[in-house]
Structure 1
Amino acid sequence: MSDLYFGTDLFSELDRVQRQMSSLFGGYPSSLRSSRSGTFPPINVGTTDESIEIVAFAPGLDPAKLDVTVDKGLLSIAGERTAEQSQLPEGARQYARERFTGTFRRVIELPQQADPNNVRARYVDGCLLITVGKREASKPRAITVQ
């Protein structure tokens, strides 16, 4: 007979242990994929043959107040989201708030093939779209066999 008892739901127990381990190590992510949830703005990073594509989901921001910089292989997105007027009726008290307000800064390490001199950023429908071109030497090319 085994001395181990896991209850009826092993996966919920593993999830609980994972959350405890995450809180134990202080929430220091080792990569973009391991960053904690709730980080603002949430981002997606992808690549094409020509560029690295970054989408930061940041609705309600003034594009003029966004700061996008590239320095030493790091792309930095900084800005501020101000608190909007409350939509609650007169005399009501707010007891929960899920929308982030305040200053933020996200830093993304770019791959070596990124060209820091070829970066474009635009804000469309609440999304900051950043395109970082790739260096010519890193782009795929066809070789003719003779």
Structure 2
Amino acid sequence: MSDPFFSTDLLGEFDRLQRQMASLFPAFPASLRATRSEMFPLLNIGSTDDSVEIVAFAPGLDPAAIDVSIDKGLLTISGERRPPERQAGDDTRVYASERFMGAFRRVIELPRHADSGNVHARYANGCLTISIGRSEASKPRAVTVQ
């Protein structure tokens, strides 16, 4: 006699449940540790009184392989992370790889007060830091009362 509530293929049932959940919530990662490949690089975005600050966490990239552009209020960060070249005699078979490899592109809508003519970008320690100045009209200023 078989119990209709408990299948003998428990792992298969968990896999089926995960696929159903992924179809209901496509924007969420499939597991707690995983992120979607189109979410590379991860970003922190903030602002100061003088600028908009964006930090893209992209370790292992050649800075010359990163393209940063601004057009019509959109900042685009794109490039490609290539897998390391295999050494002669390396017969390692990869059975799990969590590091993103391949082409990437992130597009960020900039606030209206961002000055696209005042942009500085630098790459250090695996972080691409982009600083975009604010327009003079949007900077906080003190008004003298007469």
Gaps of 5+ in 2: 1-16, 29-33
Q: CA deviation at 1:23?
A: 3.6
Mapped pair 1:134 → 2:124: no
Shift, 1:90, TM fit = 4.3
Paired-residue identity, %? 59
Q: Aligned partners of 1:85, 1:98: CA distance in 2, in Å? A: 17
User: Partner of 1:46 in structure 2?
Assistant: 46
SS in 1 for 2:64: helix
Distance 2:79 2:90 in 1: 31
Structure 1 portions without partners, runs of 5+: 1-15, 29-35
CA RMSD of aligned residues (A): 2.4
Superposed displacement of residue 121, structure 1: 0.6
CA distance in 2, matches of 1:59, 1:91: 25
Over 3 Å counting, the alpha-carbon distance change for 1:75 and 1:114 in structure 2 is same
For normalisation by structure 1, the TM-score amounts to 0.74
Distance 2:97 2:125 in 1: 23
In the superposition, relative to structure 1, how do residues 90 and 70 fare at CA in structure 2: closer, same or farther (>3 Å)?
closer
Larger Rg belongs to: 2
What is the Cα deviation at residue 85 of structure 1? Answer: 3.6
Are residues 1:143 and 2:143 paired?
yes
- How many equivalent pairs are there? 120
Runs (4+) off by over 4 Å: none
